[in-house]
Structure 1
Amino acid sequence: MEHDGQLELYTAVADQLKEAHARVRALQVPEGVRMALTRKLLVITAAAKHDLADAARRLERFTADLDEGRIPGEER
């Protein structure tokens, strides 16, 4: 049963990563900011290979920051 839960979490994280990458590509920000955000997503992707639950939490924080307009390096 635990394997099913892990598979569901993996699928959810993969879908959320795909959505986050699309959101970052669509942002109207300088290229350097976009690259920094993409690097963060790549770090989360790499983390998912070792600790899926931690990667899910990190991705949730990343998405919340985007939702709140907290984009590092963006001039306001």
Structure 2
Amino acid sequence: MDRDDQLELYGLVAEQLKEAHARVRGLRVTDEARAALTRKLLVITAAAKHDLPGAARRLDRLMKDLDEGRFPEGD
């Protein structure tokens, strides 16, 4: 991945993370489910620093789960 492609992907992931955080804040779920989703977003954010393509894939899966109404039960 060349530098321009990587910068573009960083921008895309950053926008998607922002959207995902907003969606999680607006969900009507239990506190445990919200905490689990927030932890997932934090893990994806941390992963983006070391494995941007992998983080993008994980974020896509999480967004798909949100779209389909699949939420974690929490701990």
Q: Which range, TM-score by smaller chain?
A: over 0.9
Moved segments of 4+, more than 2 Å: none
Q: RMSD value over aligned CA atoms?
A: 1.4
Extract unaligned runs of 5+ from structure 2. Answer: none
Identity %: 70
Number of residue pairs matched? 74
Matched, 1:4 2:4: yes
Matched, 1:39 2:42: no
Tell me the TM-score normalized by structure 1: 0.93
Amino acid at match of 2:55: A
Instruction: Give the unaligned 5+ runs of structure 1.
Output: none
The amino acid across from 1:73 in the alignment is E
TM-score, normalising length: structure 2: 0.94
- Taking the TM superposition and a 5 Å limit, the aligned residue runs for 1:10-49 are 10-49=10-49
Distance in 2 between residues matched to 1:2 and 1:72, nearest whole Å: 36
Residues 1:51 and 2:68 are matched in the alignment: no
1:60 equivalent to 2:63? Answer no
